[in-house]
Structure 1
Amino acid sequence: MSPDRPAPPFGPEHGFGLYVHWPYCTRICPYCDFNVYAAKDRDNAALIKALGDDLTRHARMLTGHPKLGSIYFGGGTPSLMAPADIAALIEQAANLFGLAPDAEITLEANPNDVLTGDLEGWAAAGVTRLSVGLQSLDDEALAFLGRDHDAAGARKAQALAAQYFPNHTIDLIYARPGQSPDEWEKELSDALSLGAPHLSLYELTIAERTAFGKRAERGELVPMPDDDQADLYELTQSVAEAHGLSAYEVSNHARSAETQSKHNLTYWRGGDWIGLGPGAHGRLSLGGERIATHAALRPADYISGIKPMASHVEGEHLSPLDTARELLALGLRPGEGFDVARIETLTGSPVPEETLAVFESQGLIRRDVSRIALTMDGRLLADRIAAELSP
């Protein structure tokens, strides 16, 4: 692209990544709404081959794309993968697409896998960043969340991860039923004192098809009221800020720009990413069109459906309007904000000035020419603001 031409409203100019979904877990957590299956004793050779064939298929069709800026192994529990299989996929991606010099390669891991896993092997495979699912530092809460580790194990896992992967992140789940502000402030402060350069802090969501969702239907579990959740969210921001990890996105906190998640920024900025693995989603740009891909959910269906010699991308061709709505909803999440001119390029119509003015007067957004960003109060109403600004 010519340096004097503006970047298109979507596509690899805004980031290019690879997401690999590993669908197996040793235990399925009661709050999990992802496409996951019990690991049991499985022969994973067919799935590993399918992932490689799927990557080859994408490379045949994305010949004009730049080098990959990130690879993210998610799930499920991708730390259950053999390091040799992780290394092979990374090497194949590097051979097919190339890796940017500062490419970020993340592996999600449960604490017990960190304590018993081959961290040297992960690093040798090419992993540069570990995402450790602590979820809590309270034993009672961990039991409630169905985790198979305790608080002591979580602390040990984070310390071990830091030795091998200075750029790592930890996940915590808060706004659990009955959780008080004092309890959460202590737990969050304890987690921040561990020294991780990045934290992902998520409010507990009760999804219908999960074990928690079924318990809620029976009245056995009562989700925290929305107002109480909002209070804990505001508390989260102030405590994290005081520890030097400000929010660069609604739920994500980093010590510096260098420790922000490059892969997730690709999502929020409207970049392209390949989705490999059962149930994986992707967004690809070809010929000026935005294509949403969604792999088959069941591992057996995914494996049997891969055609490495395919000559076209199978997926839904999004309309400019659908693309604009998605870019807006995602683009409002990071603190850096979003250029609404990108929406206007797609729709041919301006974002309503009156609505922007109202949100600005209410202290919900900040504006800099055509760029808008949510304020702290605005983050609490992110979905509503995106809906009202949506074309």
Structure 2
Amino acid sequence: MPSALPLADPAPADGALPASVAEGATGRDLGVYLHVPFCRVRCGYCDFNTYTASEIRGVKQSDYAAQASAEVAFATGVLADAGVAPRAVSTVFFGGGTPTLLPSADLIRMLDAVRDAWGLAPDAEVTTEANPDSVTEAGLAELAAAGFTRVSFGMQSAVPHVLRTLERTHDPARIPDVVRWARNAGLQVSLDLIYGTPGESLDDWRRSLELALAQDPDHLSAYALIVEPGTKLARQIARGEVAEPDDELQADQYELADELLAASGFGWYEVSNWATDDAHRSRHNLAYWTGQDWWGVGPGAHSHVGGVRWWNVKHPAAYAERLAAGVSPAAGRETLDAETRRVEDVLLRSRIVDGLPTEVLDADGRTQVAGLIADGLIDGRNAIAGRIVLTRRGRLLADAVVRRLLPSAS
């Protein structure tokens, strides 16, 4: 089952936010994340807050669009009561789960709720995640006509035995079809890959990269498989049925990805993300990494506005009950102090190509910069110019770099 929610302060039933969240709000982007917590099957490696039909008895998927729209309406009142100036939404992201398990009309209804509540910026980025076997050509065209601009397909691998280990259900031969359908609809295309699956060789990984690149996507994400506690995969490894991921092989796979992507005209802009140009970076994810505002809609969704962070109850039934009662679905929240925000800035901005301003570092952190340059982990020219930017080797050791930049927090 999905991992537990964080421990923090209880959230008020009316969702009220402190007046401090309004300070500087006009200088921050507002994004909306809509979590669709439904999947046809649960993949063995996944610990996201998702539910199959057998796990959500008493809750109807057909009711979900109305529930999510109700939270959007609730959010407008909370932000207005806190004195947050109205802002058009810059990015909308439908994640999951598998958003495209719902009919296109339901996703459009949720997007319309966001548009009606806040308005969409003229250049708003509107993304949905999708599995290759959860979309149709007509459905993608309907989403594009309604204002969606981007689709992120969970390709994961082109190799059948790797997909079987991951318990993914799609046929890799379907990838060219769904990409073509999205292109014909006028949607930007991102492909998500996973490397380091037990039994996946370097040649297997090359095959996946080559199929992905052959589709000419605008964006590609490549994530190392992480074995999360409590998942089916973790239990299989504990019983010796499946080998643990090999760290050295994963490093080789990352380097191969970066080499092939660079040769195909992609530039990295975050440790696990590449785009053909700046215009095709995921602006929604960049908002997370740069500390903008976002409201997370749905069970287990997380939000952040002006240094206050909160998260919703996890189960769809509990979520629906709270909204029906007219109270906040939030389960807990925390107000970030200045030091916590600084530490998070280092954690997140150090991962992006635009870099971390060295002024964010404390005195102890600044003493580490010369050593990180000497060790080949950060770029020397950028460091002299006042920004921490990871080298390829630094990206492989990003967590170690952060620990050195935050010695007092380690």
- Identify whether the pair has TM-score above 0.5, normalized to the shorter chain: yes
Change (3 A) 1:309 1:179: closer
Answer whether contact 1:139 1:151 (CA < 8 A) is retained. Answer: yes
Runs of 4+ in 1 over 4 A off after TM superposition: 8-12, 307-310
Q: Deviations over 1:254-287 (max 9, x none)?
A: 11111110100101111111111001111111xx
Query: Which residue of the partner structure matches residue 66 of structure 2?
Result: 49
Distance 1:117 1:221, change over 3 A: farther
Q: Secondary structure at the match of 1:169?
A: strand
Q: Which residue of 1 aligns with 2:371?
A: 358
Gaps of 5+ in 2: 1-21
1:226 aligns with 2:254: no
Distance in 2 between the 1:179 and 1:351 partners?
41
Residue 38, structure 1, aligned to residue 52, structure 2: yes
Alignment pair present for 1:372 and 2:388? yes
User: Secondary structure at the residue paired with 1:304?
Assistant: helix
Q: Deviation of residue 371 (structure 1)?
A: 2.1
Partner of 2:39: 25
Task: Give per-residue Cα distances to partners, 1:284-342, cap 9 Å, x unaligned.
Answer: 11xxxx111111000111112236576x996211222222222211111111112243x
Distance 1:36 1:189 in 2: 30
- Whether contact under 8 Å (1:173, 1:202) holds in the other structure is yes
- Confirm whether residue 328 of structure 1 aligns to residue 346 of structure 2: yes
SS in 1 for 2:368: helix
The residue identity in structure 2 corresponding to 1:365 is: I
Asked if structure 1 preserves the Cα contact closer than 8 Å seen for 2:309 and 2:334, the reply is: yes
User: Residue in 1 aligned with 2:9?
Assistant: none
Alpha-carbon contact 1:19-1:73 (below 8 Å) kept: yes
The number of aligned residues is: 374
Q: What does residue 3 of structure 1 align with? A: none
Q: CA deviation at 1:73?
A: 0.3
**Aligned residues of 1:54 and 1:308 also touching (Cα < 8 A):** no
Q: Distance in 2 between matches of 1:301 and 1:215?
A: 31
2:367 corresponds to which letter in structure 1?
E
Is 2:294 the partner of 1:294?
no
Identify if the C-alpha distance between structure 1 residues 9 and 231 changes in structure 2 by more than 3 Å, giving closer, same or farther: farther
Q: Aligned partners of 2:52 and 2:78: how far apart in 1? A: 33
Q: Pick from 328, 336, 353: which aligns with 1:318?
A: 336
| TM-score, reference length from structure 2 | 0.85
Q: CA separation in 2, counterparts of 1:44 and 1:213? A: 29
How many angstroms apart in 1 are the aligned matches of 2:237 and 2:23? 41
- Displacement, 1:15? 3.0
Matched residue, 1:135: 156
Structure 1 residues 333 and 303: alpha-carbon distance in aligned structure 2, compared to 1, 3 A threshold: same
Task: State the match for 1:5 in structure 2.
Answer: none
Over residues 195-216 of structure 1, what are the superposed CA-to-partner deviations in whole Å (9 max), with x where a residue is unaligned?
Answer: 1111111111111111111101
SS of the equivalent of 2:45 reads coil
**1:158 is matched with which residue: 179, 185, 203?**
179
Secondary structure, counterpart of 2:257 in structure 1: helix
How far did residue 187 of structure 1 move? Answer: 2.5
Structure 1 residues 150 and 363, CA, compared in 2 at 3 Å: closer, same or farther? same
Greater alpha carbon shift after TM alignment, 264-273 vs 135-144: 135-144
Counterpart of 1:339 in structure 2: which amino acid? P
Amino acid at match of 1:389: L
Equivalent residue, structure 1, for 2:304: 283
The range that moved more, 212-221 or 319-328, is 319-328
SS of 2:134 mapped into structure 1:
helix
Distance 1:350 1:165, change over 3 A: farther
Q: Distance in 2 between matches of 1:208 and 1:361?
A: 36
Could you tell me how far apart the structure 2 residues matched to 1:320 and 1:142 are?
A: 44
Structure 1 residues 368 and 260 mapped into 2: Cα distance closer, same or farther (>3 Å)? farther
TM-score, normalised on structure 1? Answer: 0.89
SS in 1 for 2:389: strand
Distance 2:345 2:147 in 1: 31
Counterpart in the other structure of 1:4: none
Deviates further, 119-128 or 65-74: 119-128
SS of alignment partner, residue 20 of structure 1? strand
Deviation at 1:183, TM superposition (A): 2.7
Most deviating of 30-39 and 141-150 = 141-150
Partners of 1:115 and 1:156 within 8 A in 2:
no
Deviation per CA, 1:29-60: give whole Å up to 9, x if none: 11111000003696235432321221122212
Q: How does 1:159-174 map to 2 (within 5 A)?
A: 159-174=180-195
1:63-212 to structure 2, matched below 5 A, reads 63-115=84-136, 118-212=139-233
Letter in 2 for 1:380: L
Whole-angstrom distance in 1 between the partners of 2:337 and 2:185: 44
CA apart distance, 1:179: 2.3
Structure 2 CA distance for aligned equivalents of residues 141 and 9 of structure 1: 49
Deviation per CA, 1:104-150: give whole Å up to 9, x if none. Answer: 00011111122476122212232110111111111222222211111
Cα distance in 2 between the residues matched to 1:381 and 1:272? 29
Pair 55,368 (structure 1): closer, same or farther in 2 beyond 3 Å: farther
Structure 1 residues 122 and 282: alpha-carbon distance in aligned structure 2, compared to 1, 3 A threshold: same
Identity of aligned residues (%): 34
Structure 2 residue matching 1:111: 3-state secondary structure? coil
Tell me, in whole angstroms, the C-alpha distance in 2 between the residues paired with 1:9 and 1:213: 44
Deviations 1:193-251 (A, max 9, x none): 11111111111111111111110111111122212211111111111111111211111
